[in-house]
Amino acid sequence: MSNYANILKAFNEEHNLIDSFRTLQPDCLKYTWRGKTRNGLVQSRLDYLFISTHMIYDVDNVLINPSVKSDHSIISINFNIKQDNDRGKGFWKFNSSLLKKQRLC
């Protein structure tokens, strides 16, 4: 594994991020980049959509679709946001002591 891959893996672990596409479609072989060489077509998955691990339960689907006039594909994600906001109007009270100057030292 390359140094960049290790850094990205450590960052994702530290911030509890996951690859949404790979998590929801573990067996799907889709690529986000295509290039042509003398030996033919080269494909790779260069683009990712990382999300917080607890948000995966709110995702309906993640898709990779080819784009027009680009060598990169489009990654799209659909969230299912639940509207269970049963709270009342409530009120907000401002802490006016925050407006007073604080002495430094």
Assess if residue 103 is contained within a domain.
no
pLDDT surpasses 70 at 105: no
Please give the residue range of the domain that contains residue 21: 3-80
According to the model, what pLDDT value does residue 79 have?
93
First-last CA distance in the chain: 50
- Give a yes or no: residue 32 inside a domain: yes
Q: Is residue 8 part of a domain?
A: yes
Tell me whether residue 15 is in a domain: yes
Helix extents (H) in 63-104 = none
**pLDDT tens, position by position, 9-39:** 999 999 999 999 999 999 999 999 999 999 9
Q: Is the pLDDT of residue 103 over 70?
A: no
Cα gap 12→68, rounded to integer Å: 31
Residue 62 lies in a domain: yes
Q: What are phi and psi of 59, to 5 degrees?
A: -95, 125
Looking at the structure of the chain, the number of domains it has is 1
Classify residue 87: in a domain, yes or no. no
CA atoms within 13 A on the CB side of 74: 7
Distance (Å) of CA 53 to CA 1, 63, 100? 23, 18, 40
Q: Is position 89 within any domain?
A: no
Distance CA 80, CA 41 (A): 36
**What tens digit of pLDDT does each residue of 36-90 get?**
999 999 999 999 999 999 999 999 999 999 888 899 999 999 999 877 666 777 7
In-domain check, residue 85: no
